[in-house]
Structure 1
């Protein structure tokens, strides 16, 4: 990453997920690049650019949020800043930013499926009002749960291609049960959403998005053609907030009463 100073237009977006840190580099209102790091990457980090560069941070991990608040130019994004209607207090900031970014860029209504540690569905209608969503364990978490909570089932990696449905050995059976059930659930949610919002955009994002889109292309091609795979929708949402801040700097520069 480049060095920064107070005279340049660069800033960072940071989304703290359940498994990794997700980064984006911006120049003013332009997204330049994205990358991911492990939590441990910054444990012995010596470069002081984090004390200089502005960082707009969203997090679903409170412990990590506190660690990053030690840096002087970190602005924590809260749910109260999200310009969508009907949000509830425990909605994940990652889900809110993703549906805001996707809807602003692609148009409302929109359904965002985030295939991360958890698999989430989040939908907004044409009036930019949250309709609702759902949360279930993601692909990797389902494999881990079987290994951790049973005596004899092994830890499994994600298959790169659709597994054989009717398996004749344990590992393939785990792959089959997990993958096909997950795909059926995704299809069901998409079909239910499209019944109510047939003109909706449907976005798939998150760390497992690409492997799931590969499965869907082979198993449910009609569903596959409805989906846009977009890795950066959360950062699109952060950019929406930055644009609003630049349009009304006095209001957004008021001290945060929450500290």
Structure 2
């Protein structure tokens, strides 16, 4: 049984895996995190735990957990794919986990993982198991927030999931068109560019805005909101293999 902890910029996800099957999932804030973790430890017999943290706030709690096999994911953690990123120390741990998930679940295939969260990240691993890098751009909420913060009169808006007209007839409608349609055009353009360059590419869409975006995109994609958690579980599972122990 594995405890998977994903500490993002806005929330913490706690997942319980038995092999490849997710048995439990909790979304919490930092203040309630320790209590919920202790409840999970009481409920399940964990053999291993892994944490992916973009803020490091949760590491003190994680280090104190009564679990023998604990992994803090970093650029030094053994991974199953070949990392060709030129600055591996700066590669986000969330991107490492997402790429691991793609490598394990879609072996010997080109994969582009798109994580639509606070930022939108694009991570590409080719059919030879080589991670080539990707891209990072502002997420939907960040775009709305920046327009409000860096102008005098534009309002603060949030995501709405209904159809957005291309021609905004009011200021708010224009902002929605610019952000939502612009984001969809960006993602569709990225997908098209990778397919033109590499041929057949598996597209995996995840993150908080995945469900909304997949309704608008016409490409054939795999939508999995929990792909990062599954990737973390694969990283933790890999650590017990002979291959990982030799690295």
TM over 0.5: yes
What is the DSSP-based 3-state SS (H/G/I as helix, E as strand, rest coil) of the residue aligned with 2:31?
A: helix
Cα separation, 1, equivalents of 2:171 and 2:244 = 61
Q: Which residue number in structure 1 is paired with residue 148 of structure 2? A: 147
Report matched runs for 1:1-259 at 5 Å. Answer: 10-42=1-33, 47=38, 50=41, 53=46, 54-73=48-67, 74-80=70-76, 81-85=78-82, 86-87=84-85, 88-107=88-107, 108-216=109-217, 221=218, 223=219, 226-248=220-242, 251=245
- Residues 215-243 of structure 1: CA deviation (Å, up to 9, x unaligned): 22xxxx2x2xx211012222232232333
Structure scoring higher RCO (CA < 8 A, sep ≥ 6) equals 2
TM-superposed deviation, 1:45: 6.3
Using a 3 Å threshold, how does the CA distance of structure 1 residues 179 and 45 change in structure 2: closer, same or farther? Answer: closer
Count how many residue pairs are aligned between Structure 1 and Structure 2: 236
Computed over aligned residues only, the root mean square deviation of the Cα atoms, in angstroms, reads: 2.5
1:29–1:242 contact (8 Å) kept in structure 2: no
Normalised to the residue count of structure 1, the TM-score between the two structures is 0.81
Using a 3 Å threshold, how does the CA distance of structure 1 residues 46 and 67 change in structure 2: closer, same or farther? Answer: closer
What is the DSSP-based 3-state SS (H/G/I as helix, E as strand, rest coil) of the residue aligned with 2:167?
A: coil
Using a 3 Å threshold, how does the CA distance of structure 1 residues 161 and 40 change in structure 2: closer, same or farther? Answer: same
Runs ≥4 residues deviating over 6 A: 43-46
Stretches of structure 2 lacking an aligned partner (at least 5 in a row): none
1:12–1:25 contact (8 Å) kept in structure 2: yes
2:80–2:238 contact (8 Å) kept in structure 1: no
- Residues 155-178 of structure 1: CA deviation (Å, up to 9, x unaligned): 111011221221221211110111
Using a 3 Å threshold, how does the CA distance of structure 1 residues 36 and 46 change in structure 2: closer, same or farther? Answer: closer
1:21–1:37 contact (8 Å) kept in structure 2: yes
What is the DSSP-based 3-state SS (H/G/I as helix, E as strand, rest coil) of the residue aligned with 2:89?
A: coil
Using a 3 Å threshold, how does the CA distance of structure 1 residues 82 and 159 change in structure 2: closer, same or farther? Answer: same
Stretches of structure 1 lacking an aligned partner (at least 5 in a row): 1-9, 253-259
1:122–1:133 contact (8 Å) kept in structure 2: yes
Q: Which moved more, 1:201-210 or 1:91-100?
A: 91-100
Cα separation, 1, equivalents of 2:180 and 2:191 = 17
